[in-house]
Structure 1
């Protein structure tokens, strides 16, 4: 896939870069946090990101957005494609029964969940949508959770990839498409 552009002809990555707020020393000293909130709050930024992610997810039966900004993006993409969205929630937020996947973080463990009843995922093509690919633990867990539920997960799409943190390697062989890589 080539460089994605907005209607003005400006590359989507440039729009993301221009609107992303950088916060030094958050959440701890030495970290340069990339805040995508201004991108999502900007009408043209949200439209550009939604269009680009929808292009990537075309052909999916369902998109899955990861808690929490992935919900916003997944809903917008699903609406654009005329399909449904599945919210992949943090552990303990859904009523039982649930399918769950626990994974390791650099500071402990976390769990992701999806409903076990009411949505048949078997054989459905689901594209995962999220805001940032960093170390890859959350995205890898989301992919494993959906696959264990019988879904086909051909790819994931993110707005921003922090390439120096090795997330792409952690989620392999899941294909990841990133709108901006830093």
Structure 2
């Protein structure tokens, strides 16, 4: 069973086999986690994403899917890009958000990754409520069939960390 840990900090500083990028469908960078990963990872990540756009994802990466590139200058081996759903006022499809985590773990397995660092996908500009996003993320990771040994949720602030810790319960949160 995968071990889940929590870290409060900057995902671009994580030493892991793979870090997950909460990407936009263009794969060409953006704001939030996406922009930070592209800035810190350097031009190698953008070049790899441009290659993906030219070859397999001419119309962009679909929501809920995942694809890997080099990590460039990040202290990780790979970046797994996944496109989270945008939360609408009337709600959105939680299965698409769960798919981001499952698909990222599937790609991690293909890469042979044992440690994967995730941000709180869709909770920034995409507006997904943190409590619901944390529940979906934890359930998706717990339910995934994966060879990944450790999933690390890297949460930018104390509030997000506390919400994820509540989802894990006292026995798992560190």
TM-score, normalised to structure 2, is 0.43
Higher relative contact order (CA 8 A, sep 6+): 2
TM-score, normalised to structure 1, is 0.41
Structure index of larger Rg: 1
Q: Which has the higher helix share?
A: 2
Q: Which has the higher strand share?
A: 1
